[in-house]
Structure 1
Amino acid sequence: MENPVIIFGANGLGKAALDIFQQNGVVVYCFLDDDKALHGTEIDSISVMGATDDDGYLKFIGKKCEAFVAFDDNKLRKNVVEMLVDRRKVMPVNCVHNQSIIASTATIGYGNFINAQVRVGAFATIGQHCLIHSGAIIEHEARLGDFVQIGAGSVINAGVTIEDGAFIGSGVTVVSGVTIGKGARVGAGSVVISDVKKNETVFGNPAQSVKS
């Protein structure tokens, strides 16, 4: 990546993204965040310059700078991505740790965060704007939709489908061939042995529906 990056979000995920970009030799120009208390502060000598919709900085994106969106909250991340596409006609770049292993036959979209020790297997598909945390394993031919979150140390086995916006907690095992529906949530440490419905929340070993 030749251009420097502006990171949207100066929270924990933004700090992790900064570390990854710096290890990869990518210059981070600044952070943008809507928390005014952060404006003018620095994170490892990188300044938080202003709000996420500040045209003074947005004008550089797509010309002199790239963008990466580092918000854990899916709704907020979607809003910033839509703003970048609408106002700057660009998609955020990927942030991929240099200690991750991604098969040459895997397919990866835009704006993904892939942390250290992640393994993505042959012919796996990762959509756009996913968060895949340290040590997660995405086995061969697994398919992740857009805005999917995979917690640290989770194992997504071969042929699993995880639809848009689903959340998989840390240390989860999803057995081969299972489908996790759109917007579903899987609690940390669960073992998922059967399909999870759209917007359903499951937890346990084996994972079972959690009634609200």
Structure 2
Amino acid sequence: MENPVIIFGANALGRAAKEIFESNDIIVYGFLDDNEELHGQTLGELSILGRTDDDGFLKLIGKKCEAFIGVDDRQLRKGLVKLIKERRKMMPVNAIHSNTEIAPSASVGHGEFINSGVIIGANAKIGDHCMIHTNATIDFSAKLGDLVQVGPGSVVGSEAEIGDNVFIGSGVTIVPGIKVGKDARIGAGSVVIADVADGETVFGNPAAKV
């Protein structure tokens, strides 16, 4: 990546993304955030420049800078992706920690946050704008839809299929071949041994509908 990155969101996820970019020798230009109380402040040596819809900075996207969405609220994340795609005709870039293992045959989309220790197996497919946290495993031939969040230490088993906008908490195990419908939520520490329907929330070992 030749251009510097503007990070949308100055919260914890945005700061973590900053460190990932810098560890990969990618320059971060600064942050945009809608909390006006933060404007003009600095995080380390970087400034919080203005709002996420500030035309003065948006016009840099695709010309002199790239964009990364550094917010973990999935609806806000989705809205910011739409803003960048509509206003700048661009897709956000990935923040992928250098300490990850991604199989050569795996497919990784756009706008991903992939933290330290993540393993993505052979022929796995990751949709766009996912967040895969520390030490999570996406096993071979598993599929993640768009805007999926996978908590630290979770395991998505081989050939499992995860729908769009699914939240998977910390330390979850999804056994191989399971299908999880869109907008589902899986509570921390759960062991999922049966398919989960669209919009369901499940929890426990074995996971059951809440």
Amino acid at match of 1:147: L
Identity of counterpart residues, as a percentage? 58
Q: Is the counterpart of residue 133 in structure 1 residue 136 in structure 2?
A: no
Root-mean-square deviation (CA), in Å?
0.4
CA distance in 1, matches of 2:161, 2:176: 9
Aligned length: 210
Matches of residues 55-204 of structure 1 in structure 2 within 5 Å? Answer: 55-204=55-204
Distance in 1 (alpha carbons) for counterparts of 2:172 and 2:85? 33
* Rounded Cα–Cα distance in structure 2 between residues aligned with 1:202 and 1:150: 15
| 4+ residue segments displaced more than 3 Å | none
For 1:160 and 1:49, the matched residues in 2 are separated by 41
CA drift of 1:91 comes to 0.3
Deviations 1:87-133 (A, max 9, x none): 00000001100001100000011000000000000000000000000
Q: Which amino acid aligns with 1:74?
A: R
SS of the equivalent of 1:30 reads strand
* Aligned equivalent of 2:54: 54
- How far off its partner does 1:176 sit? 0.3
SS in 2 for 1:62: coil
Question: In the TM superposition, what are the counterparts of 1:32-43 in structure 2 within 5 Å?
Answer: 32-43=32-43
TM-score by length of 2: 0.99
Where 2:86 maps in the other structure, the secondary structure is helix
SS at structure 1 position matched to 2:194: coil
Alignment partner, residue 7 of structure 2: 7
- How many Å separate the matches in 2 of 1:159 and 1:78? 26
Q: Which runs of 5+ in 1 are unaligned?
A: none
Q: CA deviation at 1:143?
A: 0.0
SS class of match (1:15): helix
In 2: Cα distance, 1:180 partner to 1:41 partner: 41
> What is the alpha-carbon distance in structure 2 between the residues aligned to residue 149 and residue 37 of structure 1?
28
Structure 1 residue 44 displacement after superposition: 1.4
Superposition deviation, residue 32 in structure 1: 0.1
2:205 equivalent in structure 1 = 205
